[in-house]
């Protein structure tokens, strides 16, 4: 924030040659202003770095944005956000919008009308002009585990993906596996790359060769895990263990093993990632990397509320620790 | 609604001896009116059957209320509500409040402030005085699969629980099982009772004896399924098949079987209920009763929006069909 005297909304309206009422409509996301006018007035707001004082007329909701709802995964984040919001006397508005890179274009208008205390975005980055709009309305936003490489000035909460991939792979190596495959998530998501880099480092550190044929990019869903595991198990020299990149992909990999007549863990070891609530109820119970999804939701919400209170957090990027949970889906190779 | 001329808010305020401003504050759930005064004014509103005209100042949210978020289960309902709300240009406010019988007491104040277009309550009934508050603000509500026996004038969407229990049990009987156990949900939920009554009817229709020791009330979670299955399998004359009442209880029952050295389906058949997204990714894939959770969320939201538009639906109670999905967790007894 600059030290210059704060410019008022009335001054910006006067400069732009419109009434204060029109300027207010734009600020509140109303649609009864022509699109071209709205765009022009947004520019004035952005140029002055206008920020609405947030202590009045604040709603009592936190907005949580997903690009897709994935049952086992999303729910833990929702619970974390819900807990912190509820403790602060706030409700959670849940919206599903856009793809994993950014919310859709019309989403921002709804946000401006709803005027949430803060916005938590899961697995999405947001465009610079959308950030400007949120900033000028004094609505802070925090990203959970961004798929892209977020700018350093964008507050975000992630987890230690590289360490997770390293621990999962090291565990398989320590059990005696040598031919280990990795199915990670989509190639355009940072967390996928970090997890598979952890796998590579563990293999390298153990002096094991890395066979490019054993590295696959999935979709984080059961179907992707099954598809790639089926191909891997059909290789002339198939792997004896699979680091599956997510618990859902692990389920798919176990199903593919089962279809190929392989028992887990006797004939095939599988390590998941996430530690969803059902992981310990699988038969066999899933060995997996615990990702603190619930705590990520909590921390992101706390950060958004701190920013909404005008506090400056010590750091805008927080990576929570992951750890390996050894259960029944891994064993020494036959 | 009566044919008498509509009483205005100003008239009710005058009768109660307060200003219109105070009356408006009560209507909008504001806290700057003394609790005793608020209660007294609520009585005036209720006595006159006052209903706010809903066509102005309506927010753009639908409120969805859970008593708990259960990952695999809740998400499908959320998706259904989200889809219909989104298509209508509305967002979803998600609140978790109260127990499975009713939202907590302070929930209603938040609703009055947020002024949603409609409220969808999952697995909860609402008290008569809360219904009055919602009615006087013109906020329609719909209950999804109520745990209690909802009054006939409360709009609700359920599914055919009795038929589901009947189909699951009949399938096991047709496979040749005679000693069949049932783990249903909590004893104070109508859906639990309906499912286990379906079980009883299938047993009776087949001329099979009903052993009270084989009927258990669980909690719809994996832990309840495991606990009861462990006890059932330890009986002198254990069952060869279990109708598990929910997919999560089925997971618990399979885990208990596994711990007892029993393979599913070779040594023990298990039927779930719900058909959560992961049911087909289990190993073995789960035989289960498909409950249209997503469609229940959709229909409840559609009903709430129709009521918000002042339309009178043909029926206030809708039961969607269930059907059996036969997969790999059931087989003839050994």
| pLDDT of the residue at A102 | 66
* CB nearest to A251's CB, from B78, B281, B284: B281
Nearest CB among B64, B75, B248 relative to A75 is that of: B75
pLDDT of residue A2: 42
What is the rounded distance in angstroms from the CA atom of residue A330 to the CA atom of residue A322? Answer: 19
DSSP B137: T
Contacts across the A-B interface (CB distance below 8 Å): 110
pLDDT at position A181? 98
Query: B96 - beta bridge partners?
Result: B66
Residue keyed to tokens 């999405």:
A124
Distances (CA, A) of A48 to A1, A115, A132: 11, 21, 11
User: Is B93 in the A-facing interface, judged by CB distances under 8 Å?
Assistant: yes
pLDDT in tens, B68-89: 767 667 888 988 999 999 899 8
Residue B147 banded pLDDT, cuts 50, 70, 90: low
Instruction: Say if residues A182 and A243 touch (Cβ distance below 8 Å).
Output: yes
Q: Which helix (H) or strand (E) holds A64?
A: strand A61-66
Average pLDDT value for residue range B153-166? 90
Cβ contact A82–B76 (<8 Å):
no
Q: Decide if A260 touches B, using CB distance below 8 A.
A: no
* A215-233 tens-digit pLDDT: 999 999 999 999 999 999 9
A278 interaction partners in chain B (CB closer than 8 Å): 71-72, 222, 248, 251, 278
* CA–CA dist A212, A199 (Å, integer): 12
Mean pLDDT of B166-188: 96
Report all structural domains of chain A as residue ranges with CATH numbers, in order of start. Answer: 9-47 (no CATH), 61-159+294-318 (3.40.50.2300), 161-292 (3.40.50.2300)
Task: Give the model's pLDDT for residue A1.
Answer: 41
pLDDT confidence of residue A59: 73
Cα angle, residue B166 at apex, residues B164 and B169 outer, rounded to 5°:
105
Q: How confident is the model at residue A51 (pLDDT cuts 50, 70, 90)?
A: confident
pLDDT at A319 exceeding the cut of 90: no
Per-residue pLDDT, A140: 93
Q: How far apart are CA B293 and CA B223, in angstroms?
A: 22
B283 contacts in chain A (CB < 8 Å): 251, 254-255, 258, 264, 283
For the cut 50, the answer to whether the pLDDT of residue A3 exceeds it is: no
Cα atoms found within 13 Å of the Cα of residue A80, Cβ hemisphere only: 21
- Do residue A91 and residue B94 have CB atoms under 8 angstroms apart? yes
| Residue A283 with chain B: CB contacts under 8 Å | 251, 254-255, 258, 264, 283
Quick check: A278 and B86 CB within 8 A?
A: no
Best mutation site among B69, B75, B90 for testing chain A: the one with the most A CBs within 10 Å?
B75
Element (H, E) at B230: helix B222-233
The answer to whether residue B240 scores a pLDDT higher than 60 is yes
What pLDDT was estimated at residue A58? 64
Mean pLDDT computed over every residue of chain A:
88
Q: What is the arithmetic mean of pLDDT over B9-18?
A: 88
Angle (CA) B243 B248 B250, round 5°? 30
Contact A82 B60 (CB under 8 A): no
Across the interface, of A60, A69, A113, the residue whose CB is closest to B110 is A60
- With a pLDDT cut of 70, the percent of chain B lying above it is 92
- List the end-to-end C-alpha distance of chain B, in Å, as a whole number: 63
Q: Is A283 in Cβ contact with B283 (below 8 Å)? A: yes
Interface test with A, best of B281, B284, B286, B329 (most A CBs within 10 A): B281
**pLDDT tens profile B19-58:** 888 888 888 777 788 888 888 888 888 888 787 765 445 6
In chain A, what percentage of residues exceed pLDDT 70? 92
Q: What is the ipTM of this complex?
A: 0.73
Say if residue A38's pLDDT is above 60. Answer: yes
What is the tens place of the pLDDT at every residue in A111-129? 887 889 999 998 767 778 8
pLDDT bin (cut points 50, 70, 90) of residue A133 is confident
**Report for A41-45, A146-150, B271-275: range of highest mean pLDDT:** B271-275
Furthest C-alpha separation in chain A: 79
Cα(A314)–Cα(A224) distance, integer angstroms = 39
* B283–A contact, CB cutoff 8 A: yes
Question: HSE (CB half, 13 Å, CA atoms) of B303?
Answer: 26
Mean model confidence pLDDT for chain B = 88
pLDDT at B10 exceeding the cut of 90: no
Q: What angle do CA B162, B168, B169 make, to 5 degrees?
A: 90
Residue A55: band (very low, low, confident or very high) from pLDDT cuts 50, 70, 90:
very low
Out of A64, A76, A113, closest to residue B60 by CB: A113
Distance from CA of A47 to the nearest CA of B (A): 30
pLDDT in tens, B325-334: 999 999 999 8
């Amino acid at each position: 924030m600059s030290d210059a005297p704060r410019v008022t909304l009335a001054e910006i309206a006067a400069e732009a040659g419109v009434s204060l009422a029109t300027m207010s409509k734009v600020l509140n996301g109303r649609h009864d202003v022509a699109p071209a006018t709205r765009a022009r007035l947004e520019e004035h707001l952005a140029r002055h770095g206008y920020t609405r004082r947030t202590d009045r007329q604040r709603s009592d909701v936190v907005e949580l944005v997903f690009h897709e709802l994935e049952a086992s995964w999303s729910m833990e984040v929702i619970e974390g956000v819900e807990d912190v919001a509820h403790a602060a006397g706030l409700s959670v508005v849940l919206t599903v919008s856009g793809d994993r890179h950014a919310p859709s274009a019309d989403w921002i208008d709804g946000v401006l009308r709803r005027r949430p205390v803060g916005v938590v975005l899961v697995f999405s980055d947001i465009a610079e002009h959308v950030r400007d709009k949120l900033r000028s309305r004094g609505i802070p936003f925090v990203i959970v585990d961004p798929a892209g490489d977020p700018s350093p000035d964008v507050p975000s909460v992630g987890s230690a993906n590289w360490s997770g991939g390293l621990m999962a792979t090291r565990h398989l190596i320590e059990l005696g596996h040598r031919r280990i495959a990795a199915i990670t998530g989509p190639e355009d998501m940072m967390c996928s790359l970090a997890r598979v880099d952890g796998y590579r480092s563990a293999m390298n550190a153990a002096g094991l060769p890395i066979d490019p044929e054993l590295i696959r990019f999935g979709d984080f869903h059961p179907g992707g895990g099954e598809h790639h595991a089926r191909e891997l198990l059909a290789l002339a020299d198939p792997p004896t263990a699979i680091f599956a990149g997510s618990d859902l992909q692990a389920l798919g990999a176990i199903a593919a093993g089962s279809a190929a007549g392989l028992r887990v863990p006797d004939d095939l070891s599988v390590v998941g990632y996430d530690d969803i609530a059902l992981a310990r109820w699988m038969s066999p119970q899933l060995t997996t990397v615990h990702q603190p999804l619930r705590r990520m939701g909590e921390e992101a919400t706390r950060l958004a509320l701190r920013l909404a209170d005008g506090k400056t957090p010590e750091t805008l990027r927080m990576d929570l620790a992951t750890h390996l949970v050894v259960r029944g889906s891994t064993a020494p190779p036959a």
